[in-house]
Amino acid sequence: MGAGKLAIEVENLTKSYGKTEVLKGVSFKVERGTMLALLGPNGAGKTTTVRILSTLLSRDGGKVTVEGFDTAKDADKVRSVIGLTGQSAAVDELLTGRENLVMMGRLYRLTRQSAKKRANELLADFDLLTSADRPAKTYSGGMRRRLDLAVSLIAAPPIIFLDEPTTGLDPRSRIAMWEIIRKLMKGGTTILLTTQYLEEADQLADNIVLIDGGKVAAEGTAKQLKNQMGSDRLELVFSNKKPYRAAKNALTGMQLNENEAQLTLVVPVDNPNDDVRAVLEKLNAAKASVDSLALHKPTLDDVFLSITSKQGKGVE
Amino acid sequence: MATKLKFNSYPRVVQSLIDSAVMIKRSSTHIIRNTDQLLGTFFQPIMFLVLFAAVFGGAIEASLPAGVSYLNFLMAGIIVQTVAFGSTTTAIAVCNDLQKGIIDRFRSLPMSNIAVLNGHVISDLFRNSISTVVMILAGLVIGFRSSANVVDWLMIAGILLLFTFAISWLAAVVGVVAKSVESVQWLTFIIIFPLTFASSAFVPTEGMTPVLKAFAENQPITHVVEAVRALILGTPIENYGWLAVAWSLGILAVAIPLATYLYSRKSA
């Protein structure tokens, strides 16, 4: 199949709808057997990227290959190595779970026996065996998503696209979905996941590409991205405006993050031991008594917010 | 991941036939499970048949050739009308698919493009055949009689199947173009309603105004109705048999490529 270790290669990908530029030169690579999370706010271009990768949409410029096949020139070859789980659960509501699986298996070119056998296996794996012969319209949201994912795995494709697989799910179903995704990764499937949930990317992905406004804003492992944010943060909460203002004056010169409405000040600290003491001594001198204080490690949220807020709003 | 998966390796043509068969099975299952629509499929034609025969029968029989009952005259018209209105179902099914996420799923599969449309069109052929048979049986109950022999009936079946196939493909075009199920309904209505009523389906064209008469006598519904009617009543078929087939083939020649093209372009 060529292309060495790379399952997906996207280079300088561009796409516009009319005059609206949705993708302005996106590049990333996904190695075989790894998971990449495309993270970004609504309208960043995540879904557009997945639609181009899964041959549903044509691109304007750049290079896009999946397992070494060009998505535009070799669409059918790409289609036979991918599975797609979109934002809306794409199952046939009038067919039963089992019928959905067998039908899609046949369309993936599986033999009838193979499709049936594999359907049974997936129904068991995804905890759907008891409702296998009920129409999908009677399924709960979580069951539908599981069926949807099962359907995209029917031919065991080496590459899976998961477009916001947990959006709209309750916490328990979300965690169940994560378990399933982890199992897939263990089996060696290459996964491209899009998500708005930082926790999801943090929990699951080997690598994260943060896209915003149609461009790659940052990329790396979760750890690398958090390190980019640098220091820990000391959060100080005051009981009223008087100590809040006194503290603010006492700490001028530091990179304060102020929130007067919530009476909170956030101070970056590079060296917790010395810096926290220095802050507290300054507050003490200014007689600004603190209501509560907490030291935070940087989260992906911080990375996300600090990067996306710089870039302004994207477009859908 | 336990079992080893086996894939077919048929030539492309065979594989696309399998795709169509899979999709026909899907659409047929939809028809069977959609109980409300299924009931409509049976009762609407019977209702039309009984009402038209009872309401118009007395008034129109006078203008029919001697010895022809209105029920026997009406049968061909009501069958063609049912088939024509029934094509709305194809349009709705196609439109429904396109509105839902499932179409992205189909598009991301290595399947033949035309199979989705084929599934809807061909399963509707089955549905229409069943409702036509039901209607003929109901007609027999209330006094419909035909002099047609087996060969005539086979010809009737052939003409009707071809016409149903053609009009369902036309409906598929509407289904792909329409933006919602509501717009499918009025789009098909404004095409089908004038065509069926400004035709010889329910009344002879002799009494129509000249302009209307000229239109009625030169449009597909009339030609198909006249062909079927001649075979049912045992009167000379004239050119209507060939005209009916020609119209159907003509519609197919335009509608199949158009629907497939529009379908593959949609949402891209």
Contacts of A58 in chain B (CB under 8 A): 268
Q: Per mean pLDDT, which of A216-230, A299-313, B161-175 is the most reliable?
A: B161-175
Contacts of A91 in chain B (CB under 8 A): 102, 105
Mean pLDDT of chain A: 87
- Digits of tens for pLDDT over chain B (268 positions)? 456 788 988 898 999 999 999 999 999 999 999 888 888 888 888 898 999 888 888 888 888 888 889 999 999 999 999 999 989 999 999 999 988 878 888 988 888 888 999 999 999 999 999 889 999 999 999 999 999 999 999 999 999 999 999 999 999 999 999 989 999 999 988 989 999 999 999 988 888 999 999 999 999 999 999 999 999 999 999 999 999 999 999 999 999 999 999 998 875 4
Q: How distant, in Å, are the alpha carbons of A72, A108, B109, B111 from that of A77? A: 10, 11, 10, 11
B13 touches chain A (CB under 8 A): no
**Of A55, A106, A118, Cβ closest to residue B18:** A106
B101:A95 CB<8 A: no
**E runs forming strands in A40-189:** 61-66, 69-70, 82-85, 159-163
Residue A314 has pLDDT above 50, yes or no: no
d(CA B54, CA B60): 11
A vs B, Cβ pairs < 8 A, gives 94
Residue-wise pLDDT for A248-261, tens only, equals 888 887 777 888 88
Contacts of A76 in chain B (CB under 8 A): 110
B105 touches chain A (CB under 8 A): yes
Contacts of A187 in chain B (CB under 8 A): 1
pLDDT at A217: 87
Over residues A71-91, mean pLDDT: 87
A109:B110 CB<8 A: yes
B35 touches chain A (CB under 8 A): no
pLDDT at A312: 46
Please identify which residue in the block is written with the tokens 């790379």. A6
Give the phi and the psi of residue A259 in degrees, each rounded to 5.
-145, 90
Rounded to 10 degrees, what is the CA torsion of A50, A145, A181, A132?
-130
Contacts of A87 in chain B (CB under 8 A): 101
B6 touches chain A (CB under 8 A): yes
pLDDT at A315: 39
**Of A56, A89, A107, Cβ closest to residue B22:** A107
pLDDT at B2: 52
d(CA B171, CA B187): 10
A106:B106 CB<8 A: no
> How close does chain B come to A90, measured CA to CA in Å?
4
Task: Judge whether A190 and A34 are in contact, CB under 8 Å.
Answer: yes
Over residues A135-140, mean pLDDT: 94
Spatial CB neighbours of A281, under 8 Å, sequence gap ≥ 6: none
Tokens of A289: 């008594």
Query: Which residues in A have their CB inside 8 Å of a CB on B?
Result: 51, 54-58, 76-77, 79-80, 82, 84, 86-92, 94-95, 99, 103-104, 106-111, 113-114, 117-118, 121, 135, 151-152, 155-156, 187
B7:A86 CB<8 A: no
Tokens of B186: 């009025």
Spatial CB neighbours of A93, under 8 Å, sequence gap ≥ 6: A135, A136, A137
Residue-wise pLDDT for A282-294, tens only, equals 888 888 888 888 8
A138 secondary structure, DSSP code: G
Contacts of A137 in chain B (CB under 8 A): none
Which of helix, strand or coil describes residue A31? strand
Tokens of A7: 């399952």
Which of helix, strand or coil describes residue A10? strand
With residue A267 as reference, give the H or E element that holds it.
Answer: strand A264-269
Residue-wise pLDDT for A26-75, tens only, equals 999 999 999 999 988 888 899 899 999 999 899 999 999 999 999 999 99
Rounded to 10 degrees, what is the CA torsion of B92, B37, A138, A149?
-30
Over residues A118-126, mean pLDDT: 93
Task: Judge whether B146 and B71 are in contact, CB under 8 Å.
Answer: no
Task: Judge whether B160 and B79 are in contact, CB under 8 Å.
Answer: yes
If phi over 0 gives left and psi between -120 and 50 gives alpha, with beta otherwise, what is residue A48? alpha
Beta bridge partners of A23: A15
Helix spans in chain B (H) = 12-33, 35-61, 70-99, 102-107, 115-141, 150-177, 181-197, 210-216, 220-233, 240-265
Residue-wise pLDDT for B130-154, tens only, equals 889 999 999 999 999 999 999 999 9
A187 secondary structure, DSSP code: T
Task: Judge whether A303 and A225 are in contact, CB under 8 Å.
Answer: yes
The pTM score is 0.82
Which of helix, strand or coil describes residue B98? helix
Spatial CB neighbours of B218, under 8 Å, sequence gap ≥ 6: none
- What residue ranges define each of the domains in chain A, with the CATH number in brackets? 6-227 (3.40.50.300), 231-297 (3.30.70.100)
Residue A103 has pLDDT above 60, yes or no: yes
Nearest chain B residue to A151, by CA: B105
Which of helix, strand or coil describes residue A30? strand
Which of helix, strand or coil describes residue A69? strand
Determine how many CB atoms are found less than 10 A away from the CB of residue A158: 16
A92:B102 CB<8 A: yes
Helix spans in A136-170 (H) = 141-152
Q: Which of A120-134, A151-165, B38-52, B220-234 has the lowest mean pLDDT?
A: B38-52
pLDDT at B164: 96
Instruction: Report residue B224 CA to chain centroid gap.
Output: 12
pLDDT at B211: 94
> How close does chain B come to A310, measured CA to CA in Å?
32
A86:B6 CB<8 A: no
